[in-house]
Amino acid sequence: MKSENIQPALKDVFKDDFYIGTALSLNQISGNEPDAVALVEKHFNSITPENILKWEEVHPEPDKYNFEPADRYVALGEKNKMHIIGHNLVWHNQTPEWVFQDESGKPLDREGLLKRMKEHILAVVGRYKGRIHGWDVVNEAILSDGQFRKNKWFEIIGEDYLVNAFEFARRADPDAELYYNDYNMWKPPQYEGVIRLIKDLQSKGVKIDGLGIQGHWALDYPPLDEIETAIKALSTLGVKLMITELDVCVIPFADHYHNLIDLSSLEPEMQKKLSPYPDALPDSVQKELAERYAELFSLFLKHNIRRVTFWAVHDGQSWRSYMPIRGRTDYPMLFDRNYKPKPAFDAVVKTILRSMPNGKNKK
């Protein structure tokens, strides 16, 4: 306990550089995990809800909104004077099927879906007007080849679904910051596609305040210089850049498993391969994780990054251990399953000492 008390707070360490954020689970928002909330209140000055504002959670049925968890989430942020993020309004995942259908189950037409999108955005953003400070308006619209993802929004409304989503959000809360958020942003065709998209939206009079680079990365993926090249390219847009969903996976990526499966359903050899550290993280990997976090934070400090948000408070919360394979044990965060800071925490804190003091507050 003693050593924990002398840990500096991350939000103080980076106060002149960027907001330090974290994603909150429903459990944490509901007050069922006080140890995690204590870490959040000590170290972070920005929060994002991991799931509770996604369409299927906040608006599960046509006439039913479930605002209670989001009310608690916003109250927690306000109590701590945090920079509160809404995530997300328009996405292809975690959106119920009914959204795209009429009462008889037939696909909606363009007007029908636009009406639905408008109602949803006005209701959700409107409820937290002036209280949620920034919204991920559209999530993951561009594919890694730079083309539009052919999701239902695109198929039914057309590519101007993004124009509409941003306009509805702007109307619902003219003062909130509005963001586009995506992964694979370090891949050249992807960020070039995003740059084209943002320029196109801007040319149509849509004001976009920021871009979220998700940051679901690994020990050696993506290469640091490729992340830097992408940050430089995206900086040319003149909008705020944020690392929105940072975690560093230390076990093999398993993206080829498209359906959720249980680790225990695989052969023992395969289990060992896909979840090599079921009991503890070996010191050597702990060190690699610390080095990786240090190089990432040194890079963030070098560029004009507005916010860095971790996609979990601690290892035990991270989706990496249950998606796409349930029952693995990953160690992607700065805090371990016992809420203790890992060597990666110290490594991140040290990056500030090594960075050139620039004396300006970038936030």
Residue 50: CB minimum distance to ligand GLA, A: 7
User: Is residue 25 at the binding interface for ligand GLA, with CB under 6 A as the rule?
Assistant: no
User: Is residue 214 at the binding interface for ligand GLA, with CB under 6 A as the rule?
Assistant: yes
> Between residue 132 and residue 161, which ones bind ligand GLA under the rule CB under 6 A?
139
Half-sphere exposure of 55 (CA within 13 A, CB side): 23
CB of 193 or CB of 341, closer to ligand GLA: 193
Angle CA(12)–CA(17)–CA(23) in degrees, nearest 5? Answer: 70
User: Is residue 323 at the binding interface for ligand GLA, with CB under 6 A as the rule?
Assistant: yes
- The CB-nearest residue to ligand GLA is 319
Residue 25: CB minimum distance to ligand GLA, A: 12
CB of 75 or CB of 323, closer to ligand GLA: 323
Burial of 243 (0-12, 13-18, 19+ CB in 10 A): buried
User: Of 33, 50, 167, 245, which residue is the catalytic one?
Assistant: 245
Q: Give the Cα separation of 140 and 131 in Å (integer).
A: 25
User: Is residue 318 at the binding interface for ligand GLA, with CB under 6 A as the rule?
Assistant: no
156-195 mask for ligand GLA (x: CB under 6 A)?
---------------------------x------------
Residue 140 falls in the annotated catalytic set:
yes
CB of 216 or CB of 294, closer to ligand GLA: 216
Instruction: Out of 319, 331, 335, 345, point to the residue binding ligand GLA (CB under 6 A).
Output: 319
Residue 97 falls in the annotated catalytic set:
no
User: Cα torsion for 249, 256, 211, 316, to the nearest 10°?
Assistant: -30
CB of 211 or CB of 352, closer to ligand GLA: 211
Give Cβ neighbours of residue 118 (< 8 Å, ≥ 6 apart): 164, 168
CB of 167 or CB of 245, closer to ligand GLA: 245
User: Of 50, 140, 167, 177, which residue is the catalytic one?
Assistant: 140
Residue 48: CB minimum distance to ligand GLA, A: 8
Instruction: Out of 173, 245, 315, 330, point to the residue binding ligand GLA (CB under 6 A).
Output: 245
CB of 19 or CB of 183, closer to ligand GLA: 183
User: Is residue 270 at the binding interface for ligand GLA, with CB under 6 A as the rule?
Assistant: no
Residue 194: CB minimum distance to ligand GLA, A: 15
Residues forming contacts to ligand GLA in the complex (CB under 6 A) are 139, 183, 214, 245, 319, 323
Catalytic positions are 140, 245
